[in-house]
């Protein structure tokens, strides 16, 4: 038959109709729906046997015990470890996000050598042998040119075998320029050095204190071991412990405190001494302790014979509630009331230090507050503050030196202070900017380019250092700006001792164990250092006789290792001698350091003049990681939209203050300080003192991954260091600032 239009149409219609009546459409519809339920681009997690592996978290100095849930070789969840002295099953949001770091895009997967300009992000992958021989070669050259002392090292932590090995390496190499990321621990150690005459770390028995006076410590925002503190807050509620939070901002701690006392920031020491004034005046102090175990309470004769004003006289003269009221902005009656409450409490405890303790803070302030504890005898007793002997591994501190090393160590150090200066990192960089040469910088688990204040100058200093090598596991700001990266295993892949962070009332060491085999071509920084030293040979190699880091750890902690391996942590049996033998000062007593408490010292100044009408303070929130570790995606997801929206940071400001300058919620404003400026958004918050603006730490990263980079402002760009006259540590709790329409 001939195919005309009509029959063709008929055919078409027939075909369509036929199909429509057949089961084909039904089957297709069904198949398509099934396909949407198994889209190939939606991952299907592999099933398998599930088991838990315990280790210690190292994402903050808290040292919580964690249990990692594994399905075959994959880690699927991190949970808090039950019956662990620190966190007993609890866990923080950062710890929970750990696996996103293990598998995340921010890992450095193999040794890298810079190809493009610094910070440009152009790298070439190199072998471990090449990486190690190149670093060793560089160091060898410097050594042979007798420039050993121009090599500097920065460690993220101030204790633990890794830090000690690192320091040991530098010493054996011939450089005294070893630094660590500063923290409040440095200041406290000086407090104990001055007042107790011994090397000690503070332990706060907050679980047993019944009246806690916190001078701005964000106890529930990541202070000390964060989870331990959060757990304590439950205990406080159960036992009706009184927490008094002194700070200009209604932080989480202030929220949970029984009372929030906003005082003019920087005047906390004055308040403390004024409390002492009332306590002494009303004779509420611990007479026995003061009479028998302290020196410098009454006036005393100094070595040169002159009569010096004692603590008692000093505070009676200069720190009356009325006088203090003018400075702190606190009503005298309130001061008197607070003093009485504190002194009459059975276990009062005063805690020094703003925020998480990232800022070392003023030594005078610390001593003023410690004096307050002393007045009430809250030292080395239940519910008080303990002076815990600093953990040190002698095996690692004594080093055999060759000639070059000895010569190098004699050289002028980057930072010269009467005390241990390894926490004066800011000064190290300003020294470099002043012209002191550093030819090589080694960075271990630290990120000074981000965490140090006045980040711009730090970067300038970096530009003057010809060679920077980082051991970082992540592409952090410092690593990104380095010349070579020798990536470390991350905490879940390596063995390491984790001495508990400052603040825990007992000396505890945790052990982090390799829960996973290394995901990438990384190397334990300990082994890397050992290999470099072998490469350098001579007395340096001799200083590291162990075949690898684990062997070294085994040797150094031999007495604790079994317990560590079995329980995952080791607890010292700290004993506290009675007050007769507790102090190693010249007087063998607790010494009030009156000359550090003069009014010019205790009022902690910040940078800036009247042209900046406002005061900018950084604050910490537990949903933002502030240290070397940046926020993993989950944690960032939990950040409120009143802190970060899109790429904009929000400043907290009191509605009154905002109104005065005509700003309303979410307005974009220009925030200027003597150190720099930034565009930020306004968040009106009743919970902040008028005249103060607060910006969170932990944002404004320029490195890591797209999930955190270029979000918000790094407050360190806006604040510069203010060095403590005595300790030389950074005391800049804020900076003067102004806002204008942007």
Partner 1 sequence: MKQEQGHSKAKKFGMVIDLDLCTGCGSCMVACMAENNVPFKEDETDKLKSITWMRIFKFSNGKTYPETDVCYLPRPCQHCEGHGGHSPCVSVCPATATDYDAHTGIVSQIYTRCFGCRYCMGSCPYKARYFNWFDPVWPDGMEQYLSPDVSPRMRGVVEKCSFCYHRYQIAKDKAHYEGQTEIEEDAYQTACAQACPVKAITFGDLNNHSHAVSKLKNQPNAFRLLERLGTNTKVYYVSGREWVRRAGDNYLKAEWPKKTS
Partner 2 sequence: MDSALIPNGVRRCSINKFMIALAIAGAVLLWGVYAMFLCWFKGLNQTNMNDYYGFALWIWADLAIIALGGGAFFTGFLRYIMGKDELKNIINYAVLIGFICYSSALLILAIDIGQPLRGWFIFWHANVHSMLTEVAFCLTCYFMVLTIEYIPLILENKQIDKVPFFHHLSHNMHSVMAVFAATGAFLSFFHQGSLGGVAGVLFGRPFAFREGLFIWPWTFFLFTWSAAAYGPCFTLMVTKITEMVTKKKLVKDNVVELLAKISGWMMATYIIAKIIDTYYWANVTAPSLGFNIMHFYSNNSFYGLWILFLEIILGGVVPAAILITEKGRKNSLARNTAFVLAVIGVCVNRWVMVLQVMAVPVMSFDTWALYYPSWQEVATTILPVAYGIILIMISYRYLPIFPQEPELNPVD
By CB under 8 A, which span of 28-36, 510-518, 582-590, 595-603 interacts with partner 2? 28-36
Pairing, β 242-246 against β 259-261: parallel
Which tokens in the block code for residue 617?
Answer: 């303070």
Which tokens in the block code for residue 553?
Answer: 């750890």
Instruction: Report the alpha-carbon distance of residue 650 to residue 641 in Å, rounded.
Output: 9
- Measured in degrees and rounded to the nearest 5, phi and psi for residue 37 equal -85, -5
Q: Does 32 bind partner 2 (CB under 8 A)?
A: yes
Q: Does 659 bind partner 2 (CB under 8 A)?
A: no
In whole angstroms, the minimum distance from the beta carbon of 643 to partner 2 comes to 17
DSSP-derived secondary structure for 347-381: SEEEE--SBTS-S---HHHHHHHHHHHHHTT-BSS
Q: Could you give the string, one character per residue 58-97, with x where binding to partner 2 holds by CB under 8 A and - elsewhere?
A: ----------------------------------------
Nearer to partner 2, 36 or 575 (CB): 36
Is there a contact between 254 and 247 (Cβ–Cβ < 8 Å)?
A: yes
Nearer to partner 2, 30 or 463 (CB): 30
Nearer to partner 1, 4 or 238 (CB): 238
Nearer to partner 1, 77 or 340 (CB): 77
Nearer to partner 1, 104 or 514 (CB): 104
Nearer to partner 2, 22 or 127 (CB): 22
By CB under 8 A, which span of 25-33, 416-424, 523-531, 667-675 interacts with partner 2? 25-33
Taking each continuous run of H as one helix and of E as one strand, the counts in the chain are: 29, 30
Instruction: Report the alpha-carbon distance of residue 215 to residue 433 in Å, rounded.
Output: 34
Among partner 2, partner 1, none, what does residue 256 contact (CB within 5–8 Å per kind)?
partner 1
Among partner 1, partner 2, none, what does residue 29 contact (CB within 5–8 Å per kind)?
partner 2
Pairing, β 668-673 against β 676-684: antiparallel
Q: Does 36 bind partner 2 (CB under 8 A)?
A: yes
Among partner 1, partner 2, none, what does residue 718 contact (CB within 5–8 Å per kind)?
none
Is there a contact between 60 and 226 (Cβ–Cβ < 8 Å)?
A: yes
In whole angstroms, the minimum distance from the beta carbon of 720 to partner 1 comes to 29
Among partner 2, partner 1, none, what does residue 639 contact (CB within 5–8 Å per kind)?
partner 1
Is there a contact between 155 and 167 (Cβ–Cβ < 8 Å)?
A: yes
Residues contacting residue 453 through CB under 8 Å, at least 6 positions apart: 426, 716, 719, 720, 721, 730, 732
Nearer to partner 1, 245 or 714 (CB): 245
Nearer to partner 1, 125 or 566 (CB): 125
Task: Give the dihedral sign, CA 209/212/216/220.
Answer: positive
The only residue of 1, 3, 21, 33 in contact with partner 2, by rule CB under 8 A: 33
Dihedral class, residue 121 (left if φ above 0, else alpha if ψ from -120 to 50, else beta): left
The arrangement of strands across the sheet holding 440-444 comes to 123-125, 112-114, 484-485, 467-470, 440-444, 151-155, 178-180
Closest of 419, 538, 474 to residue 103, by C-alpha: 474
Among partner 2, partner 1, none, what does residue 252 contact (CB within 5–8 Å per kind)?
partner 1
C-alpha 434: how far from its chain's center? 27
Nearer to partner 1, 147 or 683 (CB): 683
In whole angstroms, the minimum distance from the beta carbon of 25 to partner 2 comes to 11
The widest CA-to-CA distance across the chain, in whole angstroms, is 133
Q: Does 1 bind partner 2 (CB under 8 A)?
A: no
In whole angstroms, the minimum distance from the beta carbon of 253 to partner 1 comes to 9
In whole angstroms, the minimum distance from the beta carbon of 33 to partner 2 comes to 5
Instruction: Report the alpha-carbon distance of residue 494 to residue 517 in Å, rounded.
Output: 8
Site for partner 2 in 126-145 (CB under 8 A): none
Nearer to partner 2, 407 or 638 (CB): 638
Total chain residues near partner 2 (CB under 8 A):
5
Q: Does 35 bind partner 2 (CB under 8 A)?
A: yes
Residues contacting residue 122 through CB under 8 Å, at least 6 positions apart: 114, 115, 116
The only residue of 19, 22, 29, 521 in contact with partner 2, by rule CB under 8 A: 29
Nearer to partner 1, 374 or 622 (CB): 622
By CB under 8 A, which span of 27-35, 184-192, 234-242, 676-684 interacts with partner 2? 27-35
Is there a contact between 693 and 681 (Cβ–Cβ < 8 Å)?
A: no
Residues contacting residue 370 through CB under 8 Å, at least 6 positions apart: 191, 195, 350, 352, 385
Is there a contact between 689 and 328 (Cβ–Cβ < 8 Å)?
A: no
Instruction: Report the alpha-carbon distance of residue 46 to residue 550 in Å, rounded.
Output: 33
Among partner 1, partner 2, none, what does residue 35 contact (CB within 5–8 Å per kind)?
partner 2
Among partner 1, partner 2, none, what does residue 32 contact (CB within 5–8 Å per kind)?
partner 2
In whole angstroms, the minimum distance from the beta carbon of 255 to partner 1 comes to 6
By CB under 8 A, which span of 32-40, 197-205, 214-222, 486-494 interacts with partner 2? 32-40
Among partner 1, partner 2, none, what does residue 687 contact (CB within 5–8 Å per kind)?
partner 1
Q: Does 42 bind partner 2 (CB under 8 A)?
A: no
Given the rule CB under 8 A, which residues bind partner 2?
29, 32-33, 35-36
């Amino acid at each position: 038959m001939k195919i005309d239009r009509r029959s063709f149409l008929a055919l078409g219609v027939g075909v369509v109709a036929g199909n429509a009546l057949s089961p084909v459409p039904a089957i297709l519809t069904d198949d398509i729906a099934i396909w949407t339920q198994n889209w190939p681009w939606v991952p299907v997690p592999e099933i398998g046997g599930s088991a838990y592996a315990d280790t210690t978290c190292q994402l903050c100095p808290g040292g919580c015990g964690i249990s990692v849930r594994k399905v075959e070789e994959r880690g699927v969840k991190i949970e808090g470890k039950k019956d662990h002295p620190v966190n007993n099953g609890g866990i923080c949001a950062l710890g929970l996000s750990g696996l996103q770091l293990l598998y995340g895009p921010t890992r450095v997967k193999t040794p890298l050598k810079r190809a493009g300009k610094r910070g440009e992000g152009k790298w070439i992958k190199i072998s471990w042998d090449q990486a190690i021989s190149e670093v060793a070669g560089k160091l060898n050259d410097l050594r042979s040119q007798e420039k050993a002392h121009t090599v500097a090292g920065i460690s993220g932590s101030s204790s633990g075998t890794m830090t000690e090995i690192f320091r040991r390496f530098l010493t054996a190499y011939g450089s005294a320029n070893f630094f660590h990321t500063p923290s409040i621990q440095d200041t406290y150690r000086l407090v104990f050095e001055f007042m107790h005459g011994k090397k000690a770390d503070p332990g706060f028995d907050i679980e047993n204190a019944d009246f806690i006076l916190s001078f701005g410590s964000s106890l529930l925002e990541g202070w000390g071991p964060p989870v331990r503190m959060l757990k304590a807050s439950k205990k406080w509620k159960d036992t009706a412990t009184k927490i008094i939070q002194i700070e200009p901002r209604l932080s989480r701690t202030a929220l949970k405190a029984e009372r929030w006392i906003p005082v003019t920031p920087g005047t906390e020491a004055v308040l403390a001494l004024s409390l002492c004034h009332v306590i002494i005046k009303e004779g509420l102090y611990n007479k026995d302790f003061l009479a028998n175990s302290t020196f410098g309470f009454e006036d005393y004769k100094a070595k040169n014979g002159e009569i010096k004003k004692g603590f008692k006289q000093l505070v009676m003269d200069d720190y009356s509630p009325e006088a203090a009221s003018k400075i702190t902005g606190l009503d005298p009656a309130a001061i008197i009331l607070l003093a009485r409450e504190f002194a009459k409490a059975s276990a009062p405890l005063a805690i020094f230090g703003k925020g998480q303790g990232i800022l070392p803070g003023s030594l005078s302030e610390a001593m003023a507050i410690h004096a307050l504890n002393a007045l009430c005898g809250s030292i080395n007793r239940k519910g008080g503050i303990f002076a815990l002997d600093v953990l040190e591994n002698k095996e690692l501190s004594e080093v055999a030196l060759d000639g070059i090393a000895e010569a190098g160590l004699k050289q002028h150090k980057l930072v010269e202070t009467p005390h241990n200066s390894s926490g004066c990192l800011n000064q190290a960089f300003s020294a470099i900017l002043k012209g002191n040469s550093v030819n090589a910088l080694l960075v271990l688990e630290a990120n000074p380019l981000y965490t140090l204040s006045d980040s711009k100058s730090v970067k300038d200093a970096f530009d003057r250092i010809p060679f920077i090598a980082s051991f970082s596991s992540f592409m952090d700001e410092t690593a990104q700006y380095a010349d070579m990266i020798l990536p470390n295993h991350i905490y879940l892949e390596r063995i390491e001792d984790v001495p508990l962070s400052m603040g825990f009332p007992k000396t505890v060491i945790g052990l982090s164990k390799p829960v996973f085999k290394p995901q990438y071509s990384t190397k334990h920084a300990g082994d890397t250092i050992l290999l470099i030293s072998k490469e350098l040979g001579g007395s340096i190699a001799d200083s590291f006789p162990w075949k690898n880091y684990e062997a070294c750890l085994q040797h150094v902690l031999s007495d604790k290792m079994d317990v560590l391996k079995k329980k995952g942590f080791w607890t010292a049996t700290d004993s506290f001698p009675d007050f007769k033998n507790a102090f190693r000062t010249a007087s063998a007593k607790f010494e009030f350091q009156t000359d550090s408490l003069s009014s010019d010292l205790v009022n902690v100044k910040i940078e800036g003049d009247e042209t900046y009408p406002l005061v900018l303070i950084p604050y910490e929130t537990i949903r933002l990681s502030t240290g070397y570790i940046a926020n993993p995606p989950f944690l960032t997801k939990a950040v409120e939209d009143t802190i970060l929206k899109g790429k904009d940071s929000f400043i907290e400001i009191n509605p009154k203050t905002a109104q005065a300058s005509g700003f309303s919620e979410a307005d974009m404003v220009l925030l200027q300080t003597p150190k720099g400026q930034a565009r930020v958004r306004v968040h009106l918050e009743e919970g902040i003192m008028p005249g103060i603006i607060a910006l969170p730490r932990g944002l404004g990263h320029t490195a890591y991954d797209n999930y955190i980079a270029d979000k918000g402002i790094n407050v360190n760009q806006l604040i510069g260091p203010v060095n403590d006259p005595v300790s030389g540590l950074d005391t800049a709790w804020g900076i003067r600032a102004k806002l204008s329409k942007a």
